[in-house]
Amino acid sequence: MKLIDGWKQYFGEKDEREYAEMNRIYKTGFLMLIGGLCVYLYYSLTLAQVRSVVTDEMVIDGSTLFILALLLITCLVCTIMQVRKGIVDEHVRFSDAEVFPSGYFGLVSSLTGVAVVVLFMLCRGVAEAQVLGMNQVHWLVNLAMGVGTGIFTSFLAYLVFYCIFRAAKSRQKKMAGGQR
């Protein structure tokens, strides 16, 4: 404990402005890392699926499964922590909203769906070009499958946001009931 106290004396008190700025920097890095891992995982799984069409065997290496599990656990832990606090992002707190902000989350869900369409079509197209050759890429089929996946993802994201809102409101009621 004396060692930690010594470090605190050496570095001085925390500057709240710098602390907030460092949190924004870490948030940006975390989002870039999570986004990059999602694209990598999706491309890796898509490539394995396209290769399985040619070779009749689906091979997914252990490192991909490890990264997938780590990504899912990380996102699940962050989501649980946010739900417990009633926070979605720095602009929206479910505990402050009386009704579900459907317009905002409709927009967020729609943008998520569009991102999935683009990601699906590009990853699938690149994987097909890599395995089968550029003349064997089925862009329209990939677009159609991407649109279907994007629509499903939009509805699923909206449903998840709504369930998180309900859970946050329920937790808020329990906390308010316990304080009386």
Question: In angstroms, rounded to a whole number, what is the distance separating the alpha carbons of residues 122 and 133?
Answer: 15
What is the predicted pLDDT for the residue at 157?
A: 92
User: What would the pLDDT profile of 38-69 be if each residue is shown by its tens digit?
Assistant: 888 888 888 888 888 888 777 777 888 888 88
As given in the structure block, the two tokens for residue 161 are 């946001």
With cut-offs at 50, 70 and 90, classify the pLDDT of residue 11. Answer: low
Displacement of CA 107 from its chain's centroid (Å):
16
Closest CA to 113 of 85, 145, 140, 153: 153
Higher pLDDT, 73 or 62: 73
User: What does the pLDDT look like over 77-135, one tens digit per residue?
Assistant: 887 787 777 666 666 666 667 888 888 889 999 999 999 999 999 989 998 998 888 88
Amino acid letter for position 92: V
Output phi, psi for 87, to 5 deg.
-110, 135
Task: Please tell me the chain's helix, strand, coil percentages from 3-state DSSP, rounded to the nearest 5.
Answer: 85, 0, 15
User: Domain extents for the chain?
Assistant: 2-179
